[in-house]
Structure 1
């Protein structure tokens, strides 16, 4: 089956791309609508694309309350995406058991995030409100032959709405519990001489659900104040040339959510002394009252239940500014398209303080060791882990694509060139209270991250599909990549005597082969082999501060930083089927895969450092099942299931690799509504047990969870020439208590619980 080039000059840009839910026209059709995606750089029916892909349209995004990339979360099998509680704006993405938890500017994500085809380079600062989301496409498995950067896990592409060319003004307001208030105003300008625009503004405030009783009455962890602006301009210069420009900006401030203790070691609670080395001169104190030990105080708060009140001596504070430009030029000829995508993005985040323990540390009175013996003294008032700092990052990318067909449409091709560069810096001083079992003592360590990083990537890529006949086609994809990275550790770091700079380059050719067989117009199968690649990384978090304390040389201190990881390489084998049944009332898609990863790159906080390193091999096998059913003219039921089984060569494992994931969606349109359409949606997601620490310690796991979301919408109410939509929604309807994130800080494990039940109402009016 042949596919058309995506030309906005010739056809509408709106695509019906829901995999899990039909659009609002459900009541008027008795079969599932064709799903169209652009994952292979041309418009194709989802059922004809021989890859493991899921797509979510704007109706389902609204039904599940999705406003950021992190909200996509558990809607797709074998995919987990969440924000990090220690920062409201950092993201964690994992596909098929492969992902990166570390928000360092030096560590590449294994799942690529794209917004309108532009690669977002870092997990840090990637959670911001996206205005005018149209659809989300999630591609599972290694990517490279068509997408901007090599990734071994997969890719997530968010597409925003293009200008419609019609004069439409839309106002939407909403409110919910825990002080949620939202407002959005958008204007589609009329088309004039081929020029049209869409201007949108969004404002959101949220108080958060965690109270700090040690502060003012309005002190809450997890609060957010954000505003975002987006301008999209579409210009049909002539019948062959189109210019499309997008500008987006987000300014946000937040108090990141508090984490709660789930485990504190008995040894740390019984430490007899504490040594403070923050001033450069070690001072050792004796606890005369064991309850003054901060680990003992933290242990008093240990609970396996969700806490909604905290007694913290410090309120976290974070700010984020994100700005982006995307200019796409497209030229269309006969059976050919030439496209240029130019993008520049920057972000700045500032963490004014983060108190990980979320307790009030009472210093108390103790005894201080001195030359003449011990004397009474006030104990130091250090918590378990305190940090602050800032990150600045900017990136530029240029991509050229040549898309077309040849030999009487026997050959489809996509050829491209890609250039990317970035630079960033992080300044994050922090203090950690660590425990030594050998001496039964605590020590307050002045740690931190000070570094500057730059990287450059160049690539040539392509994908060729040859159609032997109407049933058989063969696709070959390839990519040649050159990566270069530089790292500077400045002498601002207190353990560095002079600036230390390192750089290294890598190159790699990867390819993929897919054989697709269409049994008939409704059923097709495919077999695919694909290579994945992730370049080596420098890890500034591996400075050997223990060697510094012991008086070691600069070479000893910098050894791990000076030697980057080896590249991670992966080969994926995949079999899939895509099918439609009963006159397109049922769609069933399935994929089975087996991945072999070598030089697996894992990242973790080990209690003293942020570490990324190679960790042997990992063999992953799994399946993904997706079914959509139109049971009646009014009722649609969809389900998805993912299974993972990973065999590691050593004791480490990737974080967030739930063995079982699943979702169920029920959508019902009521009859008998004279004005508009009344629609009910109920969704369920299931996530199995997760591991939050790469060392697979039982104190860093989260149990399985089942969450329910719902929405009741009265859409398309016509009043006085305007269209009104009203929606009542709820998240976590059963008020499930669940852990979605955790990590170990030496002798304690901290957990982040998901939000309790939230409900709200939104109203939109279109003029």
Structure 2
């Protein structure tokens, strides 16, 4: 652990505090740059960003426009130790993001796993990762809070939170903003917002925002005539109605809806049927489809491909009829040979993913003798359907379709904020109630004849090598009976969460402030999984529920949970957790402060979720994850408001840390979450903003992170064929303690010292420069350059050689003409100006022996016109 570099970074903030205590006084006059006062609600009350003892980065509407940000993913590129990328590892849906803060997050979108970073819009929690890639439309500000936020924001925010605050209706004036963008690769983006006072009723106003965005794909699906992955077609509308009949009452009713449709996610193969992830040599999977396709059927017949050469390594590397490297163009090429299937196992010639999100909220604020009482009654939900080809080849090895994925969540929150003791005490207290239900139905599509995972009886009339052709280049084995599907899995959740919370700030003096908080949460979870197959043989490899198999063998797989239930398991769990926080703030001057804080948080436990090869009994479970965080920070506006420095050093200890892995008892295709043990994550963050002159602004961020596993639960953890061990570990399979890799009881043993957490780069930093040229006409030209560096990182806890990305750099540039009246602007910009090729996440299957990565978008230029009306 390198404390020296953290201390050096933090001293950059502390050193100037004792030499310049001038009050920040710079103002934005005549188009000159200035550091503006930003009001945030990171502590559920309005206060200055610089008075908030939390590591928080805030973006105003003007800052979002200046950077050309489109969604929360773009905010991450300007925030230290934050990573938000479109599409999770196993998803074919680009609207399912991977979100990590300070090395902790969620990489699997499956319905029964919970995030570590909470997403909130106007105080309403977005419970699932699907639908959380929020667009930044008509926002007043966006706040990115790092570190545990459990006291006020609640469960599943142990790594941080993103708080989006939209603009409220204003009854005093009509105003509107229209933005139209066009660019390369069929890019277009229409955004408009309208503030509408309703003259017939005093103090009543409406606000409407709309958005329509299209973008072409950038990864070519070579098996199709004209299919490009990674495209985007999104429509959204948001409407608010606000009534404020007096200074003591405000009622706001909000509704929003969005719909996204796109081709599957832009995953490209990194390796096909070749590697086990730890060596560069060939590894032939004997577990699932890859081996059976190229070598022989489980019954000992000819290979499914019908090509003798496919049984050799040379054939798989050179013959495109084989499942192998001949079908892999390479990760630096924006191409894939994937073919997608519908729920009946037929080739889908127009594969399309879609997601519809919706929500409503009623917020009532009233002033009472005890303070401001706020009630937020909310509903949020989504419906979606999406697919992925998990062999990433033109051959029908293994695909999945989330053909029915939906969730509905309802919440009620009460907050009371006020002051007592003549203003010496600020308090917040409240109660929170949440309930959600949801279903995820997944159809798994595979080669006929899979004996453990087959969905129906063996087709004895199957003829290897018989193919049918559809779109250009498509070939798929035809089995003559009911297509290629072999099973459906239905996952149902029914969860509740109830909490009581309070936070008190006592102003010991004008300069010293002590804050304490407490939140008690009770969570209940029910997870019901049913596997549906047409044929459900009773054998040791496929255990049956009480009563025996219920699949009826009619040649079809239904999902009605009556006639075709092969296996079922139900998991229930309940936790009650109390999380405290404590912080002490000292104001060095009117514009500088230092703080120290202590906070605890937790993330729910749960159950494993993916069982393509049969369900173990009982269902594997994992425990809640707990964090204890210590943080020291400083914030300062210096030199008359010309320089802003905010910094923090943190130490987070995670007990029962959760990682995505393959718990014991799951076959090769199964995945879930395991409690690896104790993790210690230490780091530092610095944010700087310097107004060099009226026409020049420089900003920068630095994030440092040291993430390690300090100890293993039970001195060892196994995920599939990987075993992580502490020195001296022993079990019933070992005659002597495991002290090196030489007496490893499984395929790969990894000492504790070599365990590496995913999405935890050691260094990340950004640099931005903005220059403004005043024109004689009264207008100006403002140009901005953004540079982001991200250090090397892994995508998985398992040390797969392809599930990682080297350090990469991203450059964005834009230049804008602003009119003299400041009522319109015209922007030209380039995203990823240097055309950097990198991957943001990846997927690996031990069953197929493959690996794939999600590539970023290439360089794209755009033009944007904005007009303001009032």
Distance in 2 (CA, whole Å) between partners of 1:678 and 1:624 is: 32
The residue that corresponds to 2:627 in the other structure is 570
Is this contact kept in 2: 1:74–1:687, CA < 8 A?
no
Between the aligned partners of 1:688 and 1:393, the Cα distance in structure 2 is 36
CA contact (8 A) 2:768 2:784 kept: yes
Q: Which residue of 1 aligns with 2:528?
A: 488
- TM-score of the aligned structures, taking structure 1 as reference length: 0.86
CA 269–558 in structure 1, closer or farther in 2 if over 3 Å, else same: closer
Q: Please report how far the alpha carbon of residue 198 of structure 1 lies from its aligned counterpart in structure 2 after TM superposition.
A: 1.0
Quick one: structure 1 residues 679 and 564, their matched pair in 2 at CA, closer, same or farther if it must change by over 3 Å?
Answer: same
Q: 1:732 to 1:30 in 2, by over 3 A?
A: closer
Cross-structure match for 1:467: 507
Instruction: Note the C-alpha offset of 1:703.
Output: 0.8
Task: Name which of 654, 659, 681 aligns with 1:602.
Answer: 659
| Number of aligned residues | 699
Counterpart residue number, 2:764: 661
TM-score by length of 2: 0.76
**CA separation of 1:337 and 1:284: change in aligned 2, threshold 3 A:** farther
Alignment CA distance shift 1:201-1:580 (3 Å): closer
Q: Name 1:184's counterpart in structure 2.
A: 191
* Aligned partner of residue 50 in structure 1, secondary structure: coil
Shift of 1:258: 2.7
- Partners in 1 of 2:803 and 2:783 — Cα distance? 38
Work out which of the residue numbers 522, 529, 532 in structure 1 matches 2:601.
532
Per-residue CA deviations over 1:443-466 (Å, capped at 9, x if unaligned) read: x99566421011100000111000
Gaps of 5+ in 1: 1-21, 362-381, 437-443, 549-553
Measured against aligned partners, the alpha-carbon deviations of 1:216-271 in whole angstroms (never above 9, x if no partner) come to 34x21112212111101111022210011211100111112332222332545698
Distance in 2 (CA, whole Å) between partners of 1:664 and 1:726 is 24
Q: For residue 171 of structure 1, what is the aligned residue in structure 2?
A: 178
CA distance in 2, matches of 1:139, 1:23: 26
1:405 is aligned to 2:439: no
Assess, with a 3 A threshold, how the Cα gap between structure 1 residues 189 and 229 changes in structure 2: closer, same or farther: same
Residue number in structure 1 paired with 2:838: 738
Do 2:487 and 2:531's aligned partners in 1 also have CA atoms closer than 8 Å? no
* Residue 753 of structure 1, CA deviation: 1.5
Which secondary structure does the structure 2 equivalent of 1:152 belong to? coil
Tell me how far 1:128 sits from its aligned partner.
4.8
How do residues 10-159 of structure 1 correspond to structure 2 at under 5 angstroms? Answer: 25=28, 28-29=31-32, 31-84=34-87, 86-159=92-165
CA distance in 2, matches of 1:24, 1:220: 48
Q: Tell whether 2:646 aligns with 1:586.
A: no
CA distance in structure 2 between the aligned counterparts of 1:37 and 1:134, rounded to whole angstroms: 10
- 3-state secondary structure, aligned to 1:87: coil
Q: Distance in 1 between matches of 2:780 and 2:82?
A: 33
Q: Does 1:320 align with 2:351?
A: no
1:512 Cα deviation from its structure 2 partner: 0.7
| 1:11 corresponding residue in structure 2 | none
Q: Cα distance 1:284–1:643, how it changes in 2: closer, same or farther (>3 A)? A: farther
> Are residues 445 and 196 of structure 1, via their aligned partners in 2, closer, same or farther at CA, if it must alter by over 3 Å?
closer
Structure with the larger strand share: 1
| Structure 2 Cα separation of the partners of residues 274 and 489 of structure 1 | 28
Deviation at 1:637, TM superposition (A): 0.3
When residues 700 and 46 of structure 1 are mapped into structure 2, their CA distance, relative to the original with a 3 A threshold, is: same
Report the RMSD for the aligned CA atoms in angstroms: 2.8
Against the structure 1 CA distance between its residues 227 and 145, is the aligned structure 2 distance closer, same or farther, given a 3 Å change threshold? Answer: same
Shifted more, 119-128 versus 481-490: the winner is: 119-128
Q: Give the conservation status (yes or no) of the 8 Å contact 1:431–1:447.
A: yes
Corresponding residue for residue 13 of structure 1: none
Match of 2:388 in 1: 354
Q: CA deviation at 1:697?
A: 2.6
Deviation at 1:346, TM superposition (A): 1.2
1:207 maps to 2:235: no
1:285-332 Cα offsets, whole Å, 9 max, x none, are 335122368895441244555223444433642011111001110002
Alignment of 1:416-565 (within 5 A): 416-431=430-445, 446=486, 449-490=489-530, 492=532, 497=566, 499-541=568-610, 543=611, 548=614, 557-559=616-618, 561=619, 563-565=620-622
The 1-side partners of 2:676 and 2:496 are apart by 25
Alpha-carbon shift at residue 206 of structure 1 (Å)? 1.4
Cα displacement string for residues 324-367 of structure 1 (whole angstroms, at most 9, x for unaligned residues): 0011100024671000011101100112x322444322xxxxxx
Alpha-carbon deviation of 1:681? 1.1
* Corresponding position of 1:614: 675
Question: Matched residue of 1:75: which SS?
Answer: coil
- For 2:407 and 2:292, the matched residues in 1 are separated by 37
Closer, same or farther: CA 202–270 of 1 in aligned 2, 3 Å: closer
Given that 2:320 and 2:326 are in contact with CA atoms closer than 8 Å, whether structure 1 keeps it comes out as: no
Which residue of 273, 281, 288 maps to 2:308?
288
Contact 1:88 1:127 in 2 (8 A): no
* Alpha-carbon offset, residue 613 of structure 1: 1.6
CA drift at 1:647 = 1.7
Matches of 1:468 and 1:479 in 2, distance apart? 23
CA distance in 2, matches of 1:195, 1:529: 43
Distance 1:306 1:135, change over 3 A: farther
Per the TM alignment, residue 273 of structure 1 is displaced from its structure 2 partner at its CA by 8.9
Displacement after TM superposition at 1:34 (Å): 1.9
2:175–2:195 contact (8 Å) kept in structure 1: yes
Q: 1:432 to 1:751 in 2, by over 3 A?
A: farther
Q: 1:275 to 1:223 in 2, by over 3 A?
A: same
CA–CA distance in structure 2, aligned partners of residues 273 and 208 of structure 1? 29
Query: Would the alpha carbon gap of residues 57 and 34 (structure 1) be closer, same or farther in structure 2, given more than 3 Å must change?
Result: same
**Structure 1 match to 2:549:** none
DSSP-derived class of the 2:73 partner = helix
